[in-house]
Amino acid sequence: MDKVHAVELKGVTKSFGSNMANKNIDLFVDKGEIMALLGENGSGKTTLMNILAGIYLPDEGRVFVDGKEVTIRSPKDAFDNRIGMIHQHFKLVDVFTAAENVVLGLEGTGRLDLKAASSKVREISRKYGFDIDPDKKVYEMSVSEKQTVEIIKVLYRGADILILDEPTAVLTPQEIEKLFAVMRAMRRDGKSIIIITHKLNEVMAVSDVVAVLRKGEHIGTVRTSETSPQALTEMMVGRKVELNIGRKDPVDPKPRLTIAGLTVRDSEGVKKLDDVGFIAFGGEILGIAGIAGSGQKELLEAVAGLRKIESGSIIYTPEGKAPAELVGKTPMEIKDAGVALAFVPEDRLGMGLVGGMGMTGNMLLRSWHKGKGIFVDRKAPEKLAADVMERLEVVTPGIYYPVRKLSGGNVQKVLVGREIASSPSVLMSAYAVRGLDINTSYTIYNLMCQQKEKGVAVIFVGEDLDVLLELCDRILVLCGGKVSGVVDARNVTKEQLGLLMTSVGGKEEN
């Protein structure tokens, strides 16, 4: 009866200073099983997995692999125990090729045989159905390719226990399907997989069992077939949560942004936006859908004045004021006019926040030029920081604690909270809920809805089509920098959106 588990944790505790990240956790995974590890931001999922991967040393507790007690002091120990982790922020050397990254850290002869490495990479690729060129440099790769390299890296080392930390956060729906197919292939191969994710539909789709963490504690493990998204959410949050977005019909929508013929090129001269035109109304949420890299980022940046516009016009009509042309204005002027941009980049901290500063300092970044005299006014941003912390439930030791050290989701809350707080009349957000847990995501959706009800024109670039359909009033679909269509979110299906995303006008390609 007493089955030997592939990996088992007993009484694992880890704290950072006064912050208890993991409290007395018992957890196990069996061979040939996919476990989803679920929990809100800062519930200690990544910390727990980092303990298995040898990044952190637990304060207390024991780890068993195949029934034998092991001590994992370093990533090398983890490999020796056939545990491999794919981190959320990829651990790859950009200037190396895929093959060079894969052989990193392996013992072997002094001379580097990259040919042999390349052919083994190809062999693994064939076995699990990856598509990768071993001699391609990492900096030339897409996010999905980088992730593939990470997975090959752990497979190359013969890992039997794979940990994937939010692998789907940056992938397109198609890439996610591919990843799941690979995971199922690995499961058939007898490997154990632990996947950290926030998306409940993914949990339901791919996992065999679900373990839920809440505030560093293991709440329970259930079989996926015997649970539901609603039940999981309750376990995660600890109370009943309404998973509905209270979408109201737009009240008296007035044109706020009128964009026509917008064309933008990137630094290499490639057209990123091609003759884009649409109207964003006040009191409405306009969703923007499209395959990653279809021009979403460029569109928002062009409106915010961060990108050089080749041709076109952006007419901004604030409440009760005369229309004004935004093209040619500086980002500061555009921002002061009431157009706010909350952009969550793939690496979160890259754009918009200064990692080494606390919440207060980051709030200041939006208001520093408003103070009188030569001294900075700290009172207002302090108050704002405290306000954002409370309203969005940011988990941080204090408003002066460097945001770099916060967990990813909390960093995002700071960013979005700051933009909303500037009470804009146009609010643009891109990937506002990327990597956020379900509860926080809904907090953000509701904030967007509140803004809309206040008469703000909200532009919401999203990745999850289900959310776009539920949250937005109209959805603009971009395809290769062109407007593929503008549809009413209440009368459109996911499939129709998908078609528009892949071909302009939604016509089948011949």
Partner 1 sequence: MGALDFIVALIRAAVFNGTPLMYGTSGEILTEKAGNLNLGVEGLMFMGGAFGLLGAFTYGNAMGDSANGVVAVIIALVCAFAAGCFGSLIYAFLTITLRANQNVTGLALTIMGTGVGQFVGEMMRLKVGGNVAISNALKLAFANSPFPQALQNIPVVGPLIFGYNVFVYLGIIMIIVMHHFLAKTRKGLYLRAVGESPSTADSAGINVTRYRYFATVIGGGISAIGGMVYTMTISGTVWNHTGLSGEGWVAVALVIFCLWKPINSLWGSVLFGALLILYIRLPIAFIPTQIYKVVPYIVTALVLIMVSIRQRREDQPPAALGTAFFREDR
- The residue ranges that bind partner 1 (CB under 8 A) are 16, 53, 55-56, 74-76, 79, 85, 87, 91-96, 100-101, 103-106, 108-112, 137, 139, 153, 404-405
Q: Which is nearer to partner 1, 396 or 484 (CB)?
A: 396
CA distances from 377 to 131, 415, 417 (A): 54, 20, 20
Using CA atoms, how far apart are residues 14 and 21, in angstroms rounded to an integer? 6
Rounded CA separation 107/222 (Å): 40
Query: Closer to partner 1 at the Cβ: 147 or 317?
Result: 147
Minimum distance from residue 90 beta carbon to partner 1 (Å): 8
Considering the complex, state which of residue 108 and residue 246 has its C-beta at the smaller distance from partner 1: 108
Q: Quick one: 408 or 424, whose CB is closer to partner 1?
A: 408
* 103-109: Cβ within 8 A, 24+ apart: 103/156, 104/153, 105/75, 105/76, 105/79, 106/156, 106/157
Q: Which is nearer to partner 1, 140 or 466 (CB)?
A: 140
Report the DSSP beta bridge partners of residue 29.
7
Q: How far is the CB of 104 from partner 1 (least distance, A)?
A: 4
Cβ distance to partner 1 smaller for residue 266 or 333:
266
Q: C-beta of 117: minimal distance to partner 1 in Å?
A: 10
CB of 100 to partner 1, least distance (A): 6
Q: How far is the CB of 404 from partner 1 (least distance, A)?
A: 8
Nearest-approach distance from CB 359 to partner 1, in angstroms: 16
Which of 293, 290, 264 lies closest to 478 in space, CA to CA?
A: 290
The least distance separating partner 1 from the CB of residue 388, rounded to whole angstroms, comes to: 21
Whichever of 75 and 506 has its CB closer to partner 1, that residue is 75
Asked if 79 and 161 count as a contact pair (C-beta separation under 8 A), the reply is no
Residue among 139 and 368 whose Cβ is closer to partner 1? 139
How far is residue 352's CA from residue 365's CA, in Å, rounded to a whole number? 9
Q: How far is the CB of 50 from partner 1 (least distance, A)?
A: 9
What is the DSSP secondary structure assignment for residue 346, as one 8-state letter?
T
3-state secondary structure at position 231:
helix
Q: DSSP characters for 155-195? A: HHTT-SEEEEESTTTT--HHHHHHHHHHHHHHHHTT-EEEE
**CA atoms of 122 and 187, how far apart (whole Å):** 20
- Whether 437 and 39 have beta carbons less than 8 Å apart is answered as yes
User: Of 252, 284, 165, 211, which Cα lies nearest the Cα of 36?
Assistant: 211
